Amino acid sequence: MKIHGLQKMTLLDFPGRVACTVFFGGCDMRCPFCHNAELLDGSAPAVMDEEELIGFLKKRQGLLDGVAFTGGEPLLQKDLPDLAKRVQELGYPVKLDTNGTHPERLGRMIRDGLVQYVAMDIKNSPDRYAETAGLDNLDMGPIRESAAMLLEGTVDYEFRTTAVEELHDDSSFEQIGQWIRGARRYYLQRFTDRDTVPFEGLHAPAEERMRHWADIVRPAVPAVELRGVD
């Protein structure tokens, strides 16, 4: 497997753990606010292969206590379950970031015990999902299936939405709250513009607006927290 990026240590990506983050190329969405746009088509140069990653993790045993898989969309990697198993054999729990478009692959990893924590993006309310994902058309069925699977609570998880002033409004969060009602935890994270973001003209919502949106969701999902807001 090709590894397109490695953050050697993070206290943020895997809740409660000192982890490293492994980046994979390829994604089936084209979100205009993506921070990893160079990974979307899988053409970015690889920084290491699977064996080099395993070698790195062997050297970090006792220093790290988790590995986060992100992208792109990691579930596009057909060998991801095998890699997750190898990582776990070294004593590392695995966290997976996903956009929810591959419920069958997600379900397989959960059933086989190959992932201990899942972070699933909820891009927007269903009626604005395709727009927010940068697509002309989008089948919401797989995404709804993945969300329902996590809501069953068989694996630890979070839902999260990157809030963008031009893409979200009160209705967005009213609908999201009803969709994921009773979720274990939900993070509303504020968009940050960077050089790697593929589209110009997008803005971060004001802190007051972020808190207002969190209050809209909170009756349905009490465990709402903000990221990117002081």
Q: What separation in angstroms does the CA of 145 have from each of 67, 128, 150? A: 25, 18, 9
- In the predicted model, what is the mean pLDDT of residues 188-207? 86
pLDDT band at residue 51, thresholds of 50, 70 and 90? very high
pLDDT band at residue 24, thresholds of 50, 70 and 90? very high
Residue 1 has pLDDT above 90, yes or no: no
Q: What separation in angstroms does the CA of 143 have from each of 87, 117, 124, 155? A: 27, 17, 12, 17
Q: What is the pLDDT of residue 128?
A: 97
pLDDT, tens digit, 9 for 90 and up, residues 73-116: 999 999 999 999 999 999 999 999 999 999 999 999 999 999 99
Question: Distance (Å, rounded) from C-alpha 75 to C-alpha 97?
Answer: 9
How many other CB atoms sit within 10 Å of the CB of residue 115?
24
- In the predicted model, what is the mean pLDDT of residues 31-43? 82
pLDDT band at residue 196, thresholds of 50, 70 and 90? low
Instruction: Output DSSP code: residue 71.
Output: S
Q: What is the pLDDT of residue 121?
A: 98
Query: What is the arrangement of strands in the sheet containing 224-227, beginning at the earlier edge strand?
Result: 5-10, 19-23, 67-70, 94-98, 117-121, 156-163, 186-190, 224-227
Instruction: Output DSSP code: residue 37.
Output: G
Radius of gyration of the chain (CA): 17
The residue among 160, 157, 165 whose CA lies nearest residue 212 is: 165
Give the domain ranges of the chain: 2-227
Instruction: Give domain 2-227's CATH architecture.
Output: Alpha-Beta Barrel (3.20)
Average pLDDT of the residues of the chain: 95
pLDDT band at residue 42, thresholds of 50, 70 and 90? low
21 φ, ψ to 5°?
-120, 130
Structure tokens at 138: 């989008």
Percent of the chain with pLDDT over 90: 87
Question: Distance (Å, rounded) from C-alpha 132 to C-alpha 95?
Answer: 24
Question: Distance (Å, rounded) from C-alpha 160 to C-alpha 4?
Answer: 23
Question: Distance (Å, rounded) from C-alpha 70 to C-alpha 79?
Answer: 14
pLDDT, tens digit, 9 for 90 and up, residues 3-22: 999 999 999 999 999 999 99
pLDDT, tens digit, 9 for 90 and up, residues 127-159: 999 999 999 999 999 999 999 999 999 999 999
The residue among 39, 109, 41 whose CA lies nearest residue 71 is: 39
pTM of the model: 0.95
